[in-house]
Structure 1
């Protein structure tokens, strides 16, 4: 998952509204949004390593993005997984199944994150939402105050052009009658950022430009899924559309809901 924007209002009837695009190599095997048979959660699944980029239960949500650090090799700069490193996608499952998420995050910051390549991890449970950032420079976790935030492949709210555009789109969507309809449209934005606004993560200007749209239309690498999440009291609703090479939709939008009553 390479772009996430979310509105966090823990005291409101709807506590979390989240919209995300997952970018990945199209050849990487993936299963779309579904109810897992080996864990009490809903999410897509990476069939290569077994983890996920975003998943939820009735009371928890977790989502992951990779951190893009300066790399000389383009493919390495996208995957950021050195030989022998465990899959970062497993962190989402652990966050959703940990007995004490706060303690689990503390342990991850203290030592557990070191074995992974760079990542951002969002974890929501009850009235709490944390953002954990791990890179070669630092590993930090903070509990978020209410408000509108965004994540791409740097730390929380780093003002990359795609993140600013997505966050502005979410802000406008929240003022309409149906924020979801607006975000389905906005997250299909394929416009690249102006060269003058591109970040420099060591992959070259052409690659930075290719990765700069909210929605990446690539034949080998691009946006694989758009996911919307709505969390209200005792219920979490997920909606997902999958895409193939060139940004072509594959299948219909999948809609699933986790209810607290179903897990009691």
Structure 2
């Protein structure tokens, strides 16, 4: 993901709302949102190049995780996959299911939200490796280090905060993410651009609504997947 916002325990009907755009090269293969067939219980799209994911929900536990890269940091192909970090955090199993701050140096630069058990955390490797709890509220990340201002993240944070204050249906945020005249959020490039807009909304009764709208080169619509399921 390249811009994402999180509403944590502030909406009266949806204690967890996670919404964002994934920007990526259009030539990088990916599978649409689905329940993975490996028995992991992960519901997510899948990066078919590295095998992990950028945003997902663990259906048995309700854990939700999303990652962004960080602009300006040259990727090192020898480092661990950020998508694998997301997968391990979602499952609660694997080498990186409970990382320490020093473990975050093993990945190319990233920002990440992890939510589970009623708690939310921020994990980041820039400017320094850091794991910190998040208070109930509306938070946002994009491709900038967390100690730098980011208008793109603030634009989406404000949109989510307004929806929360109005008690609005979270699904309206998908239209905000797809506004082609707002380059702060939607990138309609032919080579690199917004590949997917994703919404995760978890209701007070444990019902999960998860929607992914996909886009191809030029910002053209390329299908929608909507899944409803219950935690556990």
Fold match (TM-score > 0.5): yes
Q: CA deviation at 1:12?
A: 5.4
SS for the counterpart of 2:172 is helix
Which residues of structure 1 form unaligned runs of 5+?
70-76, 193-211
Give the distance between the partners of 1:124 and 1:101, measured in 2 at CA: 18
Contact 2:11 2:167 in 1 (8 A): no
Aligned to 1:30: 30
| Gap change, CA 1:49 and 1:168, over 3 Å in 2 | same
Aligned to 2:45: 44
Aligned to 1:172: 162
Aligned to 1:8: 8
Aligned to 1:216: 187
Structure with more of its chain in strand, by fraction: 2
SS for the counterpart of 1:96 is helix
Q: Could you give the per-residue CA deviations for residues 226-264 of structure 1, whole angstroms, max 9, x where no partner exists?
A: 00011234333211100000110102x21113423xx4x
Aligned to 1:61: 64
SS for the counterpart of 2:170 is helix
| Gap change, CA 1:101 and 1:179, over 3 Å in 2 | farther
Q: CA deviation at 1:180?
A: 2.7
Give the distance between the partners of 2:226 and 2:176, measured in 1 at CA: 19
| Gap change, CA 1:169 and 1:101, over 3 Å in 2 | farther
Give the distance between the partners of 1:30 and 1:100, measured in 2 at CA: 23
Aligned to 1:17: 17
Q: CA deviation at 1:156?
A: 4.2
| Gap change, CA 1:219 and 1:88, over 3 Å in 2 | same
Give the distance between the partners of 1:102 and 1:125, measured in 2 at CA: 15
| Gap change, CA 1:160 and 1:191, over 3 Å in 2 | farther
| Gap change, CA 1:166 and 1:5, over 3 Å in 2 | same
Superposition TM-score, scaled by structure 1 size: 0.79
Contact 2:91 2:97 in 1 (8 A): no
Quote the RMSD (CA, aligned, Å): 2.4
SS for the counterpart of 1:20 is strand
Give the distance between the partners of 1:227 and 1:103, measured in 2 at CA: 23
Instruction: Please state if 1:147 is matched with 2:137.
Output: yes
The range that moved more, 17-26 or 175-184, is: 175-184
Contact 2:7 2:16 in 1 (8 A): yes
Structure with more of its chain in helix, by fraction: 1
Q: CA deviation at 1:113?
A: 1.6
Q: Looking at CA atoms only, which structure, 1 or 2, has the larger radius of gyration?
A: 1
Task: Identify which of 150, 154, 162 aligns with 1:160.
Answer: 150
Give the distance between the partners of 2:147 and 2:129, measured in 1 at CA: 16
Q: Could you give the per-residue CA deviations for residues 200-226 of structure 1, whole angstroms, max 9, x where no partner exists?
A: xxxxxxxxxxxx620001000000000
The range that moved more, 42-51 or 126-135, is: 126-135
Instruction: Please state if 1:131 is matched with 2:122.
Output: yes
